[in-house]
Structure 1
Amino acid sequence: MKTTIKTLFALTLGMALFSCDNSDDPQPVLPLEATLVEDLAAPNDVIDRQTGTILEERPFVYFSLEQNAQVSEAEDWDLAFKGTTIRVNAAKNVSAAIVTGIFDQINEVPASASFATDTDSELAIPTGGGNGWYNYNPQANTITPIPGRVILVKTSAGNYSKMEILSYYKGNPPMAEVDPFTTPSAHYTFRYVIQPNGTQNF
C-alpha cells in the first residue's frame, strides 16, 4: 500500500513538472480590470464673474494613466486637468479620441475612432458644453458628464486606454444633491482600463 502511494505521488509530480516545462501550453489571459480614480482635485482659475478677468491662475494637475498617479509636469504624464479642461501630452505623442458607447462593452478601439493631439489652436478633448465629455446646465450652473461618452487615450508609452468620467463634484454625489455654490467642483472621479501589451483590445 505504501508503494502504491509513492508511485502515484511520483507520477503526479512528474506530470506536474512536465506540464510546467511544456512551453507550448497556452498562458491564461487575465481580464483587464478598471481602475477607479476618485476626487482628483483640479480647480479652475479664480475668475471675476462680472468681468471675466482672471484673478488667480492655477496650475494644471498632471496624471499618468500608466502609473495611476498624479505626477509632475516634468514626468511622463498623459492627461492634465484644470476646471473642465483636459489636455493631452502632445510632447510625448499622447493622443485622444471621443467615442459614443457603453464603457463596459467597448472591447477594442473602434475603427472609426479619430485620434488627435493638442495643438496651439485646438484640444484633442474639446471643451464647452456638449462638445466633449460634459454638458453644462446654465439654469442650474452645473457640469454633468454626458452618458455614453468614452475617452480613448493612446498613452505616452504607446498603450491604449478607455476612460469614462463619472463625476465632476467632490464625493461623486447625485446631481440632485449638487449645490453649485457649496459643492466643491473640479474633483474628477473617473474609471479607466489600460491595455499594457500595446494592442487595441480591452
Structure 2
Amino acid sequence: MKTTLKLSFITLLSASIFACAEDTPEPIVPLEAILVEDLAAPNDVINRNTGEVTEVRPFQFFSLEENALVEETEDWDLAFKGTTIRVNATKNVTAAVVTGIFDEIAEVPTSATFATDSGESFAIPTGSGNGWYNYNSATFTVTPIPGRVLLVKTTHGNYAKIEILSYYKGNPPAAEIDPMSTPSAHYTFRYILQPNGTTTF
C-alpha cells in the first residue's frame, strides 16, 4: 500500500512538472537586421547631349530570403538598376512604401497599400520624392528620404521591412559625395525578414 501511494505521488508530480513545462511560452528571439553593402546596380549609359541610351545594363536581382544576388530565373524578390527598384510580379511579390522609423515599425501597418509591378507602373514609385529617394538638381545627388521604409511580401509569402541607407559606394556622408567621382548606384540598405509568414517584426 505504501509503495502504491509513493508511485502515485511520483506520477502526479511528474505530470505537474510536464504541464508546467508545456505552459511555459517559448522565448521570443528578436529578429536581427541584415546589412547589405554596396550592391552595385549601375544605370544604362546615356548620351547627355542626345538622351540616347548607348549601353543597356542589366538589373541586379536580389533574394531577401537568401540575402544574395541571384539569377533572373531564380526566386528573386527585388531587382535594382539605377534608382529603379522592381518587384518580382511573376512570383506575386508585392511592396508598399510607408512613412515611419525603421526600428519602430513592429508590424506591417494595416494602412499599408501593397501593389506589384505592372507594365510601366512600379510598386515602389520612381522619380524624386515619389518613392524612396530625393534628387537634388543643385548638387546632382540622390539621397534616401528620411523616414521612408519599404515593405515587401516575398516570393515565399514572408514580410520584410527595408531601409535604404545610401546610394553611393562606401556609404559616405552626404557632405562628402562628389557626383563626378563618387560611384553611384551602389546600394547600402538594411532589412528585417520575418520568416514565419506573420506580419510582426
- With the length of structure 2 as denominator, give the TM-score of the two structures: 0.90
In structure 2, distance between residues paired with 1:101 and 1:28: 27
**What code does the residue aligned with 1:67 have?**
E
2:166 maps to which residue?
167
1:110 maps to which residue?
109
2:132 maps to which residue?
133
Over the matched positions of the two proteins, sequence identity in percent amounts to 71
1:194 maps to which residue?
193
Task: Measure how far apart 1:27 and its partner are.
Answer: 1.1
1:55 maps to which residue?
54
**What code does the residue aligned with 1:113 have?**
A
Task: Measure how far apart 1:35 and its partner are.
Answer: 0.4
Q: Which aligned pairs between 1:13-32 and structure 2 lie closer than 5 A?
A: 22-32=21-31
> Which ranges in structure 2 are unaligned for 5 or more consecutive residues?
1-13
2:181 maps to which residue?
182
- What CA deviation, in whole Å up to 9, does each residue of 1:137-179 have, x standing for no partner? 0111000000000000000000000000000000000111111
In structure 2, distance between residues paired with 1:52 and 1:128: 17
> Which ranges in structure 1 are unaligned for 5 or more consecutive residues?
1-14
In structure 2, distance between residues paired with 1:56 and 1:182: 20
Task: Measure how far apart 1:29 and its partner are.
Answer: 1.0
**Number of matched pairs:** 187
Q: Is 1:74–2:80 an aligned residue pair?
A: no
2:4 maps to which residue?
none
- What CA deviation, in whole Å up to 9, does each residue of 1:180-200 have, x standing for no partner? 010000000000001011010
- With the length of structure 1 as denominator, give the TM-score of the two structures: 0.89
- What CA deviation, in whole Å up to 9, does each residue of 1:25-72 have, x standing for no partner? 321110011000000000000001111100000000000000101100
Where do 4+ consecutive residues of structure 1 move more than 4 Å?
none
Q: Which aligned pairs between 1:142-157 and structure 2 lie closer than 5 A?
A: 142-157=141-156
- CA-atom RMSD in angstroms: 1.6
Task: Measure how far apart 1:107 and its partner are.
Answer: 0.4
The DSSP-based 3-state class of the residue aligned with 1:30 is coil
1:37 maps to which residue?
36
**What code does the residue aligned with 1:101 have?**
G
Task: Measure how far apart 1:132 and its partner are.
Answer: 0.3
